Amino acid sequence: MKIAVLCHASAGGSGVVATELGVQVARAGHEVHFVGSAQPFRLAGHGSMRGPYFHQVSGYAYALFDQPYPELAAANTLTEVIQEHGVELSHAHYAIPHATAAIHARAMTGKTRVMTTLHGTDVTLVGLEPAFRHTTRHAIERSDHVTAVSAYLAQHTQEVFGVEREIEVIHNFVDSERFVRVTDPAVRARFAHPDEALLVHVSNFRPVKRAADVVQVFARVASEIPARLLMIGDGPERPRAFELAQQLGVIGRTHFLGSFPDVETVLGISDLFLLPSQQESFGLAALEAMSCEVPVVAARAGGIPEVVEEGVTGFLADVGDVDRMADAALRVLRNRDLYVQMGAAGREAAISRFHPRLIVPQYLRAYERTVELVC
């Protein structure tokens, strides 16, 4: 099968999932072509003469255009890829602009089917903007097949946009051979002393991630036990989180690492993962932490309960309840048996429920069903 993949190149969850899936599909023997304005960051090192391949979308500046049109440029490049390589299926990760671009390319070529995967903010945030609401609904309705990364997101999409079409749920997956526990004390010593608990948060620091809550939870934990906090990622709320850490007197034990490339190592040496998001369609970062045997304390929001099992792989609290999150964090960190038990359960869940060998075949079957629509 020949497949084109449209996705964001950044370190956000949708781009990570799209890239890892494309690499897995290529390893399964299919021809995969990534199409985007920049090469997905997790694709580095994977491309070869046998693929996956990358095709860059070119920009165009013209005096009459007061803003760029990425959707049209992507549709044009995708059309060229379809015509040159005989692409049978275009897999769009994110409704706008990727699904709309794929639908345009389908109309121009008549030679491809479109499968759209909804990742969360494309429908819960961007899609609800008045300027994009009708476009998002059109992309969902005109795709040949639609999947969502959680049951929550599928139901939310149907309710909010009033669409009656089937949305197949295919959960995200984690490479459990890459995301593993790191036991080398020398690696951990780079970030914390042996007697300190190491807490970690990974996100794009958008307001919905509630990075300030992470700092507040950590401040309460650090007032009770020796601890350090690693904040990985970058975004608009990072300066506010930094200022709050200063105000609460924990800036000396809080490290803002930015877009740290070696996330799996940091997760592998950590003791607790914090995810207090107001909204999460799935919670991929939490799953990656679980694969590293790290218990999770998170908000009971969106699709997180489909990943983190209350009392088994971590603890859940209402959005904004930093006191309850801090209490849960201390409960885990002070009870070694509970910590080990939750870590092992998280690892088991990652392997038994979210391993690529379970999830990738679901996508391949969806690809086959979608391509058969034109047979």
Please indicate, yes or no, whether residues 151 and 262 belong to a single structural domain of this protein: no
| Residue that has been written with the tokens 């034990």 in this structure | 253
What pLDDT is stored for residue 242 in this prediction? 96
* Exposed / middle / buried, residue 183 (Cβ in 10 Å: 0-12, 13-18, 19+): exposed
- pLDDT per position as a tens digit, 138-186: 999 999 999 999 999 999 999 888 888 999 999 999 999 999 999 999 9
pLDDT digit string, tens, across residues 267-298: 999 999 999 999 899 999 999 999 999 999 99
Q: Could you give the number of structural domains in the chain?
A: 2
The residue segments making up the domain with residue 19 are: 2-173+355-374
104 contacts: CB under 8 Å, gap ≥ 6: 71, 72, 75, 79
Question: Confidence class of residue 128 from pLDDT cuts 50, 70 and 90?
Answer: low
Statement to judge: residues 364 and 343 lie in one domain: no
pLDDT digits 0-9 by tens, 315-349: 999 999 999 999 999 999 999 999 999 999 999 99
pLDDT band per the 50, 70, 90 thresholds, residue 120: confident
User: What is the average pLDDT across 350-372?
Assistant: 96
- Global pTM? 0.89
Residue 178 lies in a domain: no
Same-domain status, 98 and 208: no
Residues 323, 359 share a domain: no
Residues 76 and 217 in one domain: no
- Return all residues near 101 (Cβ < 8 A) that are at least 6 apart: 6, 70, 71, 72, 74, 75, 78, 92
Residues 77 and 89 in one domain: yes
What's 250's domain CATH number? 3.40.50.2000
Q: Are residues 332 and 253 in the same domain?
A: yes
Q: What is the DSSP string of 312-348?
A: TTEEEE-TT-HHHHHHHHHHHHH-HHHHHHHHHHHHH
Q: Quick one: tokens of 263?
A: 């996330």
Is 113 found in the same domain as 211?
A: no
Task: Give the number of other Cβ atoms within 10 Å of residue 267's Cβ.
Answer: 25
pLDDT at position 67 is: 54
Query: What pLDDT score was predicted for residue 26?
Result: 92
What integer pLDDT is reported at residue 375 of this predicted model? Answer: 43
Residue corresponding to tokens 């490290």: 255
| Domain co-membership, 255 together with 143 | no
Give kind and range of the element (H or E) at residue 84: helix 70-85
156 and 189 in a single domain? The answer is no
Which of 317, 309, 244 lies closest to 276 in space, CA to CA? 317
Residue among 88, 1, 71, 68 at smallest CA distance from 36? 71
**In a shared domain, residues 341 and 362:** no
With respect to residue 180, please indicate whether it lies within any of the assigned structural domains. Answer: no
**Which tens digit of pLDDT belongs to each residue from 31-79?**
999 998 877 766 766 656 576 888 888 776 655 455 567 788 889 999 9
Q: What is the pLDDT of residue 202?
A: 93
